[in-house]
């Protein structure tokens, strides 16, 4: 593929007060001197490894410090204190985790050489969930991962993930959940959609949970994808234009804008894509398999004050897929033969079907920080999803159609409390759903009369969740949670 990218400049900057408790973790640590006595007043700097954002704190009389809340991502921690050599460590923060770091400072002048050594990998004890964290740099550097219809950002990094019959599978199934900023995107019709939930180019971080879920993430069996979208804090009145062209007459293009001040940030993008190779074909030849789509994404963040943040995330997509068919009249599917007892199995030679999809997401969040230990997030949302499978009126022997539209409205409220030994999270998640589905068949072989059937259904869901983590020792944590759903 030939790819051309024009960028007016970018840096990745995260804020410490993003939305929803389920994309947050925290960082805690302690500072000692060479005699293992606590160091009071040490300056601690927490900085994203992929941005210019940083936050600072001072150690207390016990030498302890904490940062809360901290969005998922990779950070460096630097500790400095008069009379001591500056020390630095790298820490990775996952949602609902609290990595603990220990600094033992050396006296200034006591060391003349810098020693570089490999540090052992610390196994987290505050979560039983296997996680994979993918950032936007990995997406940009992975071949094909930034294409609108690509799932390479998942299949290239997440163990046990693959695509078959045009559906993403992980650990053997395709019942998965998508979350944006920790708020679930409700969808009870996963198998009827082929289009992407989000364009990979709009993603900042993606956290993938693979089993042993905490109660806050719901009960989808096979996987949970928690998306932290780009916000605009990584740009200063900058735009980026990405153009690409490749075989099968494909192109994946995007224009995005973003900027920020100390209190406000915005990010907006529009994208378009098309290709002659869309979904998987029944035969090696590529016939009637084009796809095209376009979409837009927007993010607005306003820090009302040090304790309150407002955020709006919107996403719009429309996608179209031609449904390929078997073009060979002598194949077992199309023609009577001895192999199929002289009865064609599923003749597709005369079909020209297509799949039309639309998706709209609106997610508003209010984040209130009571203190460094207590956090409240209120997130109302709206989601509309449409999938219309339609045939050409001249399809033979029958022309069928199935149009479905689903509307969801609801919200999530979550509260978290973090102390030295205990982390508590509780919340309520609920939505109302209305479906409108139309099915129709036209018999072009005169074998029956055309008919249509319309069905309208409504329902609701309400779930309460509570998670609690008690750190008994540095190597032992007790984790419990429940999520009753009605």
Summarize pLDDT for 94-126 with one digit per residue, the tens: 887 888 899 999 888 645 555 555 555 556 677
Predicted confidence (pLDDT) at residue 7 exceeds the cutoff of 70:
no
* b/e burial code for range 372-386 (CB count within 10 A of at least 16 → b): eeebbbbbbbbbebb
Q: Which residues contact 223 (CB under 8 A, 6 or more apart)?
A: 158, 161, 170, 171, 176, 177, 208, 209, 210
* Half-sphere exposure (Cβ direction) of 213: Cα atoms closer than 13 Å: 23
Q: Which residue has the higher pLDDT, 174 or 458?
A: 458
pTM for this structure? 0.82
Are 366 and 380 in contact, with CB atoms under 8 Å apart? no
Residue showing tokens 């996987």 = 223
Sequence-distant (≥ 6) Cβ neighbours of residue 286 within 8 angstroms? 248, 276, 277, 324
Give the residue, 355 or 372, on which the prediction is more confident. Answer: 355
pLDDT of 308 above 80: yes
| pLDDT tens column, 139-167 | 999 999 999 999 999 999 999 999 998 99
- Summarize pLDDT for 177-204 with one digit per residue, the tens: 999 988 889 998 888 888 899 999 999 9
CA gap 153, 200 in Å, rounded: 8
CA of 297: how far to CAs of 283, 387, 444, in Å? 36, 20, 42
Whether the predicted pLDDT of 18 surpasses 80:
no
pLDDT at 112: 55
What domains sit in the chain, N to C, each tagged with a CATH number? 12-104 (2.60.40.10), 131-482 (2.40.170.20)
User: What is the pLDDT at residue 6?
Assistant: 37
Helix, strand, coil percentages, rounded to 5, for the chain: 5, 55, 40
> Looking at residue 217, what is its pLDDT?
82
As a whole number of angstroms, the distance between CA 147 and CA 247 comes to: 14
Beta bridge partners of 381: 363, 410
- 102 against 18, higher pLDDT: 102
Residue 15 has a pLDDT of 35
Q: Convert the pLDDT of each residue in 57-98 to its tens digit.
A: 999 988 999 888 788 888 899 999 988 889 999 998 888 788
Range scoring the smallest mean pLDDT among 244-253, 338-347, 410-419: 338-347
Kindly report, residue by residue over 356-396, the tens digit of the pLDDT.
999 999 999 998 988 878 889 999 999 999 999 999 888 88
List CB contacts of 330: < 8 A, sequence separation 6 or more: 337
Residue 282 has pLDDT above 60, yes or no: yes
pLDDT at 11 exceeding the cut of 60: no
Tell me, what's the pLDDT at 296? 97
Pick the closest to residue 200 from 238, 144, 125, 277 (CA basis): 144
- If one counts every other C-beta atom within 10 angstroms of the C-beta of residue 313, the result is 25
Is residue 332 predicted with pLDDT exceeding 90?
Answer: no
**Which of 216-220, 418-422, 438-442 comes out lowest in average pLDDT?**
216-220
pLDDT at 10: 32
Residues of the chain above pLDDT 90, percent = 51
pLDDT for 115: 58
Q: Which residue has the higher pLDDT, 109 or 49?
A: 49
Q: Are 54 and 75 spatial neighbours (Cβ–Cβ below 8 Å)? A: no
Q: Which of 319, 248, 251 is nearest to 289 (CA)?
A: 248
* pLDDT mean across residues, the chain: 86
pLDDT digits (tens, 9 = 90+) for 250-266: 999 999 999 988 889 99
């Amino acid at each position: 593929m030939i790819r051309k990218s024009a960028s007016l400049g970018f840096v990745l900057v995260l804020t410490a007060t993003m939305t929803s408790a389920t994309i947050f973790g925290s960082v805690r640590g302690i500072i000692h001197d060479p005699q293992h006595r606590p160091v009071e007043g040490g300056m601690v700097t927490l900085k994203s490894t992929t941005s210019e954002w940083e936050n600072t704190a001072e150690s207390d009389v016990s030498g302890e410090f904490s940062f809360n809340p901290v969005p998922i991502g990779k950070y460096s921690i630097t500790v400095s204190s008069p009379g001591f050599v500056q020390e630095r460590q790298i820490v990775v923060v996952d949602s609902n985790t609290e990595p603990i770091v220990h600094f033992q400072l050396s006296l200034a002048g006591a060391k003349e050489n810098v020693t570089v050594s490999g540090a052992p990998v610390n196994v987290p004890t505050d979560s039983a969930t296997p996680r994979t964290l993918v950032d936007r740099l990995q997406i940009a550097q992975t071949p094909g991962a930034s294409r609108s219809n690509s799932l390479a950002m998942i299949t290239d990094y997440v163990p046990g993930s693959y695509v078959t019959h045009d559906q993403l599978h992980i650990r053997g199934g395709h019942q998965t959940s998508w979350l944006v900023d920790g708020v679930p995107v409700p969808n009870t019709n996963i198998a009827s959609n082929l289009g992407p939930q989000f364009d990979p180019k709009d993603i900042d971080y993606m956290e993938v949970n693979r089993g042993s879920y905490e109660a806050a993430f719901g009960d989808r069996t096979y996987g949970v994808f928690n998306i932290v979208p780009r916000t605009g804090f990584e740009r200063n009145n900058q735009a980026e234009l990405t153009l690409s062209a490749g075989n099968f007459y494909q192109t994946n293009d995007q224009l995005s804008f973003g900027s920020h001040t100390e209190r406000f940030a915005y990010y907006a993008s529009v994208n378009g894509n098309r290709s002659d190779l869309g979904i998987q074909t029944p035969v090696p030849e590529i016939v009637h398999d084009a796809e095209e789509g376009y979409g837009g994404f927007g993010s607005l963040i306003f820090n009302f004050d040090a304790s309150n943040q407002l955020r709006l995330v919107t996403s719009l997509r429309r996608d179209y897929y031609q449904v390929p068919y078997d073009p060979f009249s002598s194949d077992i599917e199309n023609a009577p033969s001895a192999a199929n007892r002289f009865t064609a199995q599923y003749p597709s030679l005369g079909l020209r079907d297509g799949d039309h999809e639309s998706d709209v997401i609106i997610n508003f969040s209010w984040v209130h920080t009571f203190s460094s230990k207590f956090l409240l997030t209120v997130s109302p949302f709206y989601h509309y999803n449409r999938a219309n499978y339609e045939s050409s009126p001249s399809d033979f022997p029958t022309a069928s159609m199935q149009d479905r539209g689903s509307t969801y409205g609801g919200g999530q409220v979550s509260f978290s409390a973090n102390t030295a030994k205990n982390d508590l999270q509780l919340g309520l998640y609920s939505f109302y759903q209305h479906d409108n589905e139309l099915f129709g068949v036209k018999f072009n072989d005169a074998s029956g009369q055309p008919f249509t059937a319309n069905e309208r259904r409504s329902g609701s869901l309400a779930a309460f969740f509570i998670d609690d983590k008690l750190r008994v020792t540095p190597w032992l944590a007790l984790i419990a949670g429940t999520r009753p759903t009605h």
